[in-house]
Every structure is written in structure tokens, then in C-alpha cells.
Structure 1
């Protein structure tokens, strides 16, 4: 309450957006009620149905079906490797291994719909017994989980449904449209990945998350980000449930820990993006659950742990750092079971799974972490300095959890309260966990996981996966101390998080969800409002002739990643072309720009109204560019095919 008063949070609250979530909840309840009343379904099961149908309606039947096929293949593969583990852990590990195998093969022309379909068929055939057993056991396990706490289960399902609304949105966030879409679209259109750091400095960055997004996209022939993120959310929820169980939580605390995860504003925000924090949360929570197993149960955990560590390494360097922080703790807890050869084998497995991008980056660009740490590696594709984003250096100090909660805009592209209220509202539960001998070490390690990524860069999104892991401990501890008050506390925090969900990202705050619902899943309607370049690029694809490379001439709008090898930008994504553009600006007559367009074989140019300089306009005129289409303030210019062009 003090923080709300100090930062005047009522001025940052958007009641209309919260009202949309309330309306969606009422609609889901109205659909679920007949199933509950006349078919005898539990509220949790009945509420799950409308959210599943909504995902199919907004994401598309084929992308959802292909994602389910990928999930079945992952369960089959995970069942072969880890036959005694749960279905969720098998699926998570199977996805990691499947993505890792494809990642090593990225430069080879093997990535086509029929080859991926063949992989699915072979895996499902080999693991058909596991898949069949899993499908038979899901209903029984679901009912047994609901029965002890039906109200808490219904609340958790409703919360997951509200969070899954992020999966309904098409891919529009800047990092996705400028970077993450490049790999899936290259595989879809070229059958291989070119790995060209000359045209994109992040081309060789860890790519496991993008490879997994690409799998159902190749099968469906359409982007499948929403269903893939929904799958990761389910695996994370299952991991939070299992971790809370391991920590001694009862049925209500398990379900409310899942609801807390779903209520975090960043859960919905990340569901609308291709950022790696969504799969990182899933793998990290399962890794901690494995570490907290008893030594007797930990004998079969070594391979699963190695796969999860490798997956975190393959997702992002920051995720790999969290895994490395956990390894000494894991080794100490299971020290009685450690043997040299199995440990070396697990290390080899983790490196084989997670190092493909680092090996290719070292081989092709002389820097395994390009563009990071280039002051040491001196790759020719980036300046001999360390990559840094000065926006997120607000300072690391003891008040950071307070400021992350109430002054969120300094630590994320968000608004006050957009990170949720867990770090402050549930701090007491963490202190109680710290004071209890059984959970003290866990409390210390999970707090370290949250704080570690915030030391070099105070960017809230990087702390999201560890915050998800922390929720299970907070819920279990609160219910251990006082179940009744804990239920009210955790439920109240969930409501407060949902009230500020739209503050987690400017697209949610400006009505992206409402627009998508009113457009009944027509992605073009959302694109016209938020990323009109995607509408223009769709127009370009429909043209009968090949227009060569596509240049995003506005350096602030480098939204052409979906063009793959044909994408060119003047932004920081392409430092060499950005430097060439600065040189071309000196020629006001446009001759230098004409030469640069010819050198880059640019046949299509994206601009924003009012951003063209005089030299750029003159260069387009000299090249014979003509305005082809216009959406909002975005324009598409076509240039006649260059004669004798490279």
C-alpha cells in the first residue's frame, strides 16, 4: 500500500484493460457452466475447454495441430530417454533434444515440411507405447490433482486462460519482427539457415528457442508462435506444481502457485513474443525440481538434468549462467551419488545439446558469443567493444525489488506495476522460508537466481524465469505457516497482478488484445495498427516477380526479419550497412545512395512517412523507385530490377 501511494499507481492503472479480462472470464464461465451443470464436469475441466477453443480460433487449426504433433514427438523422444519420468518432463526434455539435433543441421538443406513430418512419424512410432500410456494416464492424473482442491484448481485454470490471451496475438513485438522471425522464415523458404552475421549481428546468437518455433511453422506453412508458447506455459505450470509438491506444498498451494505464475503480467507479455524467457522458465523450474529431489530419487535425474542444462545453454547465455549457478548446489545435494564417468557423460550430453550456436559462431565469426565480449574476441562483424544497452543501468542496490515493482518503467519497456507485485507482497513468505532450516538453502539459491541476471543489467525480463521458480517456494511456505491467510494473500496478489497485466507492455495497454478479438483472428488488422510493415511484406510476397533484397530504410523500424536472407536494415542489427548509410548521406544528390542500393541488390524499400532524408529521397528517385503500397505511415517502394546485378 505504501508503494502504491508513493508512486500513485492508480494513475497508471488502466481499468478498461482489466475490464476486458473480467469480461473474458465471464464469457469463459458462461461456456463452462452448462458443462458443469449438465455434464457433471469439474469447474477446472469445464473452464479449460473455452480457452483451448479460443487458442485454436485465434492461432489457427493447422498451427495448433502441428504443435500438438511436435509435442507428441517430444513425449515419444523423452519417453525413450527418460522412461520413468512424468509426461511434462519427458515433453520438455524431448523438445530440447529435438531442437538441439535440428540446430546442428541448420546449414544443411534438410529443413522441409516432409522431412520434419518424417521425423515426427518415426519418433511417435518408436515411442508409441510411451505416447499411448501418457495419453491414457492424463485424465486420471488430472482428476486426482483437482479433487483435493477443486476451487483452487478452477482459479488456476482461469488464470492460465487469461495469461494465454497473449498467445492469441500475432507476432508483432519489435525483437521478434526484427530478429527472431528470421530463422523460422529462412527455413520455411530456403530449407536451410545461412548464418550470415554480415547482415545481422544476432544471426549466430543462441537459437534453440527459434528452432523450436520453426518446427511447427515448417509443418503448417504458417507462423505457430502462439501454440508453441501455450505448450511452454503448460510445461512451466506443470513444473511449478511439481516443485511446490517437492517443497511440501499441499493441493491448494500447488494450484495457487500455478495461478501466481499465470497472473504475472510478463507471462502474458512473453506469450505474445518469441523471447527466450518463456522456455527458460519451463526448463529452469524443472531443473530446480530435479535438484530438490531426495538423493534416492535423484539417481535417474542425471540425464534429465544434463538435457535441461544443455537446453538452457542453447536458449541464451544468461540462461546458461543460471544453470551454472545451480550446478554446485546440485552437486552438493547429490554428492553421495556422484561418480566420475556418469558425471563426465552428463557434461558431454549438456555440451552436445547446447553449444551448436557457439561452435558455429566461433567457426564463422571468431567469437562464440557474437556480438557479446567482442572487446576480447575482435570479430570483424562487430566493433571491438562489448555490446551494451545503456538504457538498463539504473543501479543494483538493496531497494531494487521495491523499484522493480513500483517504478517498473526504469527496468523494462513497461509501466508502473507491469512486473507484478510478488517481490514485495510475498517478501514475508521468503523471509519465513529463509528462517526454516528445511528451506533456508533453497530460499538463498532461488533469491540468488533472481538477482544474478540483474547485477550486470537491471532489466526485469531477465529475472522473470527465476521469479517463476521462486513462486513455488513462496506458496508452499505461506500455506505451511497459515493456510487460511495464505489463500487470501496469494489470491489477492493474483488479482492485483491481473489488474496491472496491461502495464506489462505497451501493446497490451493500447488494446492489442481487444483489437485481435474484434478482428476475429484476422492478423492483418493488428498488423495495420502495430507493425504495418508486415502487411506490406505480405503484399511484396504476392507480387509475381522477384524484387531482390528488401531494405528497411528507417533505422528505428528494422522490421524485415521475415524476409530471411533478403532482409537488409540500416539499424544496429547491421553495423556495416549502417556505416555505409552514414557515408551515403554526405552525397545530397543521391548518387551514393543509388550506388549503395545497387551494391546491396535492393529491389524493395520500406520507409515511414516523414523519415526519409533528402539524400535518401534523391537516391530512390535516381534508382527509379515507385511507390507500390502504403499502410498507415509505412510505405513500400519498388525499384526496377538492376541490370547485371550480383
Structure 2
């Protein structure tokens, strides 16, 4: 029924004050004031690192300068110029070949995703295609089929086969980007600037401890051995959910070099696209969408995760894309794509598996009109096919599908008891968001403020989002995902994906309920996050991004400072290549890093990563002569040792002398020693 305009009677009543019209602004300002009180009350200004803030400002001005030049020379809009500036920086500091390899993988993913989502945009096709590729590759990991040639061929075949669909998707994506910039140049420029500042973490070479000891294992196993050994006796995390590392491995194989920085930049872009679309689906205008992306880019953990191989960045992107179908019209294909993404979440980490299980019932309810037995079977089949490989292999090999977690329940012989990190059990309660924000070192390897200020500063926005019908479901779901992992372990990084998912409803609710106050509080939160970005990780506090710029893209100077053992591992591989192959395994002794995962199946370490070898090392240390250590090295096939000489106990020093080990190189106090070949005459002993 049509309802046209009708004349309205003129009212001459005196305007009255309505208290309920002001309460959203009061609620918003309450969160902002509480955050400011927390910053001052907990002495966070003393934790601020001005040098990092200055470095960010200089980088931003440099990127803006390049954009300005491109505007004058080519007439490009500032957002276009900034995007080009960030891409040039990534190619220069992260390497052009890894960047091209990731671009090829992204094109192949779009081609694959277009099979399931032929009418979707390129970003949706890309993230869906990545899930499909990672799911298939997970089942193939133990087979010796992973080479540069094989994966290059797969990518090229996909691109050539689907070239028409690929061209159409890219043309549409380019047109959408141009239209967005033309319609909202300032919001687009803001989003690109903040996203680019977060991506500066992609410039830093891989040097975080978990990456060096664990996440590099799968990519380097495929590069060196063509397969994953899947040996929990050597590395207790060898069978843990691996989808994120599988996607790290594929461009590394194609490029012949690590491509972590470029791949993380792709995850940042995909997550930003999902946030933009979520904010729009919730009713946000372009300004709200831009500030949602800006808040994401400003979070200290966004830059930290861009700097490493932890799974929370891809988890955040996958979670946002998987949640998007819950805010759109029901569709069988969209629901199947959501099942593929939830499968990818399950294959990424056990916490992400939990996110997927929370998301599925809501998605099923939202798409109930297109649900039938065939759709349910196909969706569950996709979920299991993409998400099940690591759990199936871990159960078959180790008897524990989530090894080393929950081992009290499964009793796998490869790990004694259950894995529990007592550092992150400070207690769950209503004050936890406040404590995580201002007492961050108790909940993350970071300094105060290193988790950002969203949980407190936008606490009022969360109430508004729960009160609004359009944002309520997603805000409640994000709140549930935020709380459940923290019930078990109060570790802030695990809450990051849910925090990112919450940004669209928070910003949209704040801007819709009290536009002026919402804008001020969101902008202030963004600025506070940027000011304390360096507190998210010690490498940012010591200027790793600035040092990457100074090093002009060379990794060696930064690795010498942050992970010198990686330079020695590279030297060992080069020696093996010159000698026609390895002569044995490599043992790590007395380093901060519990293992050199990049040595793949050759890596050994007497640490909790290898409990059986750690037990044998304790027995060997009881023999002051060093003979027990020499026997242990022979039994384990050790040919190389990377060690911290100053920390080496006397029995291990004695073993070096007794075995006739030869010193090869030293980097920042970390040493490389070689043991004589079994068939070589014993050389003279060389004391450390």
C-alpha cells in the first residue's frame, strides 16, 4: 500500500527536554572517561614509547608524500596513492618475489572460490578459495608431492582454467574500489592509511619465538622435504591444527623464500574488506565503515600479528567473513561458503574451532529458509573435509586429536599429562576487561596498554549495540566469543578475533545512537591505540619496523638482533646444499628458542617440545665426563649443534671436546658447531 506525503498540522508547543535522547551520549562518554581514568590511574603515560609514535608519524607522512606526488603527476586520488605507496613498501622491504607469489596464490584462490560463489565479489571468492585450497592441502601433507613446480602448476592451471571468471571478478572489484573512493574520498583515505600503518609489521622478518620454534616447521618441511614428517616424538605440535601454516607454505614454495609478510598483508586486506561489508550490512554509512577499518588497523595486536605467524590474524579475517552471511539474505551457496569458512576456522586452531561452533547455529537459523537435507549434508561435508585433516591424523598417529591439549583425557604417550600454561590463569571475572587493558603483562607478553583500549573505551558502545535490534545479534555473538576462551585461559591474544568481530556493531551503534559523541570517542580510541601500539610486543618497542626501513629490506641485520639462531640455520642449510645434502640432524642447546623449526625433519631440541629427548638430556647431564652426551648425539644422528656457549653446562662442554666438535660460526653469542662425520677420522678436540 502506497503512503504518500500528508500535510502535517503546525505545532506551536514549546520544545521540552527529553532525557532519553541524551542517554546514548552519556553511555558513550562514560566508557571514554573510564578509559582516560584508567590510563592516568595505572600510570600508562610512563609506558608510552615516543620513538615508536614518531616513527609511525614519519612513515605516515612519507606515504602521504608519495600519494601527493602521484596525485600531482597522475591525478590519482589520495586513497589510490596511499595504496600504491604501501604496496611499493611491501615489495621493497618484504621482497618482490614473495609478493608476486602471494598475488598468484590470491588469484588462484579467487578462481577456486568462484566455483562456489560465481556471483560474489573478489574478496569473498578469495577467502573462500583459500579455505578450499588449505583444506585439500591438509590431507596431502604426508605425501612427498609438495614442490615449487607442483604448486606453481596448480596455481597457474586454476588461473588459466577460470580466467574469464577471474577477469570479471577483478574488473568488478576495481570498479567497486574506484566508486568507493569517488563517493567517500576522505573515509577511504583514512581506512587505507590506518591499514597501511598496521601493515608495517609485515616488513619485519620472521623472528618471534613461537614462529622460530613452531610455525616455521610446516613451510620449511615442505620446502626441504616435500612433505610433513608428522612426528610427535620430535615436535609435540607437529599434528596441531595447521591450516594457517599450510597457506604460509604454498607461496613460500612458489617463491623459494618465506612470504609471511606478503601473506599477512593479504589477510589484513581481506579482514578489512569483511569489516567494511559487515558495517554496511548493519546499517553503517561510509564514515562508519571507514572508522571500523581504522579501529582494526589501530589495534596494537593487529600490527603485532602482522609481524608474525600466529593464527589470530587469519582467524579474525575468517571469522568476519563467516559471520557476514548471518547479516545478508539467505542463500544456499552463501551458506555453503560459510561452512567452508567455519571448516577453515576449525583447521586453524582449537579456539577458532570453538568460534566456528558458536557461529554455526546462528548461521543455520538465519538461513533456515534454504535449509534442507541436501544443503545440510553438503555443508557438513565441506566443514569436515576442510577442517578435519589435522584432527584425523593426530588421532590416528598419536591417539589425541588435539595433541598436546587435553592429554589428561586422551592419554597420548607422546606428551605427559595436559598442556597448561600457568602464566595465563589470573582469574575470570567482571573486571577482566579492565585488567587486560591496563594490567596487560598479566594477560599477554606485552606492556601495559598493549592490547588496545577498545574493551573499556567502547564499553558504552557495546551496551548501545546490544540495545539496538540491527546490531544486537552480532554484538552478543562477539561478546560470547570473547568470554568463552577467557573462561579457560585469560590470554588476551585468544580474544583478539572476537574483539575484531565486535568492531562493526560497536562503531555502527555508536555513530547511529549519538553521531557526534560516537565519532569523538571512536577517534580518541583510535589515537590511544596508535600511541600505545609499540606496547603490543617487545620488538615493536625496540624499533623493529624502523630498523627494517634502515636495513633497506635486508633481513640479516634484524635477525642478528632478534633471532641470531636463524642466521646460523641458514648457514647450515647452505653448507648442506654445497655438500650434496645433510649429514645428520641439528640439535639446539640452551637457547631461549626451544627448537629451530625451520630445519624441518632434521630439527632436534631437548626441550618440552620433545619430552623424550628432554628426559634423555637430563640423564646425560648427570655424566660429568660428557660421554653420555656423545652417546646421545650418536643415537639421535646429530651432526650440527646451535648453542649458547655461555649457558652451556660443564657436561655439555666436555661432550664437545670429547666428540671433537668443530666451531663454525658465531652470531651475537650464538654458536654453530659441527660433529665429525661417522666415517671421517676423528679430528683434534677443539674446546669451546
Alignment correspondent of 1:639: 675
1:134 Cα deviation (Å)? Answer: 1.6
For this pair of structures, how many residues does the alignment match? 642
479, 483, 500: which one pairs with 1:451? Answer: 483
Which structure's CA Rg is the greater one?
2
1:317 Cα deviation (Å)? Answer: 1.0
Alignment correspondent of 1:238: 273
- SS of 2:646's partner is coil
Alignment correspondent of 1:549: 585
- SS of 2:586's partner is strand
14, 18, 24: which one pairs with 2:59? Answer: 24
389, 410, 414: which one pairs with 2:421? Answer: 389
1:624 Cα deviation (Å)? Answer: 0.8
Q: Work out whether 1:616 is the aligned partner of 2:649.
A: no
Is contact 1:533-1:559 (8 Å) kept?
A: no
Cα distance in 2 between the residues matched to 1:442 and 1:212: 28
Q: Work out whether 1:586 is the aligned partner of 2:605.
A: no
218, 221, 225: which one pairs with 1:186? Answer: 221
1:337 Cα deviation (Å)? Answer: 2.8
Is contact 1:555-1:569 (8 Å) kept?
A: no
Is contact 2:344-2:386 (8 Å) kept?
A: yes
Alignment correspondent of 2:527: 495
Q: 1:316 to 1:285 in 2, by over 3 A?
A: same
TM-score normalised by structure 2 residue count: 0.92
Cα distance in 1 between the residues matched to 2:539 and 2:227: 33
Is contact 2:116-2:333 (8 Å) kept?
A: no
Which deviations, in whole Å up to 9, do the C-alpha atoms of 1:456-499 show, x marking residues without a partner?
A: 00011101111111001111111112323323322221111111
Which deviations, in whole Å up to 9, do the C-alpha atoms of 1:499-543 show, x marking residues without a partner?
A: 111100001111111111111111010011011101111221222
1:350 Cα deviation (Å)? Answer: 0.4
Name segments (4+ residues, structure 1) moved above 6 Å: none
Note the 1:87-98 alignment, pairs <5 A: 87-98=122-133
- SS of 2:475's partner is helix
1:176 Cα deviation (Å)? Answer: 0.5
1:547 Cα deviation (Å)? Answer: 3.8
- SS of 1:315's partner is coil
321, 326, 345: which one pairs with 1:291? Answer: 326
User: Unaligned 5+ residue runs, structure 1?
Assistant: none
Alignment correspondent of 2:288: 253
State which drifts further: 328-337 or 229-238: 328-337
1:438 Cα deviation (Å)? Answer: 3.1
Alignment correspondent of 1:442: 474
Cα distance in 2 between the residues matched to 1:179 and 1:292: 37
1:555 Cα deviation (Å)? Answer: 5.5
Q: Work out whether 1:156 is the aligned partner of 2:200.
A: no
Which deviations, in whole Å up to 9, do the C-alpha atoms of 1:54-73 show, x marking residues without a partner?
A: 00001111110011000000
Alignment correspondent of 1:63: 98
Q: Work out whether 1:175 is the aligned partner of 2:207.
A: no
Alignment correspondent of 1:324: 357
Note the 1:567-586 alignment, pairs <5 A: 567-586=603-622
Cα distance in 2 between the residues matched to 1:392 and 1:324: 24
Cα distance in 2 between the residues matched to 1:393 and 1:103: 33
Q: Work out whether 1:264 is the aligned partner of 2:285.
A: no
- SS of 1:413's partner is coil
Q: 1:337 to 1:137 in 2, by over 3 A?
A: closer
Alignment correspondent of 1:375: 408
Is contact 2:468-2:509 (8 Å) kept?
A: no
Which deviations, in whole Å up to 9, do the C-alpha atoms of 1:339-382 show, x marking residues without a partner?
A: 12211221011001111011111111111111111112111111
Is contact 1:547-1:638 (8 Å) kept?
A: no
Cα distance in 1 between the residues matched to 2:474 and 2:596: 44
1:100 Cα deviation (Å)? Answer: 1.3
Cα distance in 2 between the residues matched to 1:515 and 1:412: 24
1:146 Cα deviation (Å)? Answer: 2.1
348, 351, 364: which one pairs with 1:315? Answer: 348
1:424 Cα deviation (Å)? Answer: 0.8
Which deviations, in whole Å up to 9, do the C-alpha atoms of 1:203-246 show, x marking residues without a partner?
A: 00011111100001101100000001101110000000011011
Q: Work out whether 1:3 is the aligned partner of 2:38.
A: yes
Is contact 2:218-2:228 (8 Å) kept?
A: yes
Cα distance in 2 between the residues matched to 1:451 and 1:642: 56
Is contact 2:301-2:451 (8 Å) kept?
A: yes
- SS of 2:276's partner is helix
- SS of 1:550's partner is strand
Alignment correspondent of 1:75: 110
365, 380, 393: which one pairs with 1:360? Answer: 393
Cα distance in 2 between the residues matched to 1:490 and 1:200: 44
1:574 Cα deviation (Å)? Answer: 0.5
Alignment correspondent of 1:424: 456
Alignment correspondent of 2:666: 630
Note the 1:74-223 alignment, pairs <5 A: 74-223=109-258
TM-score normalised by structure 1 residue count: 0.97
1:153 Cα deviation (Å)? Answer: 1.3
Alignment correspondent of 2:6: none
1:334 Cα deviation (Å)? Answer: 2.7
Cα distance in 1 between the residues matched to 2:433 and 2:506: 15
Cα distance in 2 between the residues matched to 1:299 and 1:593: 61
- SS of 1:273's partner is coil
1:38 Cα deviation (Å)? Answer: 4.0
Alignment correspondent of 1:469: 501
1:145 Cα deviation (Å)? Answer: 1.6
Alignment correspondent of 2:17: none
Cα distance in 2 between the residues matched to 1:608 and 1:213: 29
Cα distance in 1 between the residues matched to 2:397 and 2:363: 35
Cα distance in 2 between the residues matched to 1:124 and 1:593: 53
Cα distance in 2 between the residues matched to 1:122 and 1:437: 46
Is contact 1:44-1:146 (8 Å) kept?
A: yes
1:559 Cα deviation (Å)? Answer: 4.2
Alignment correspondent of 2:380: 347
Alignment correspondent of 2:567: 535
Cα distance in 2 between the residues matched to 1:139 and 1:437: 34
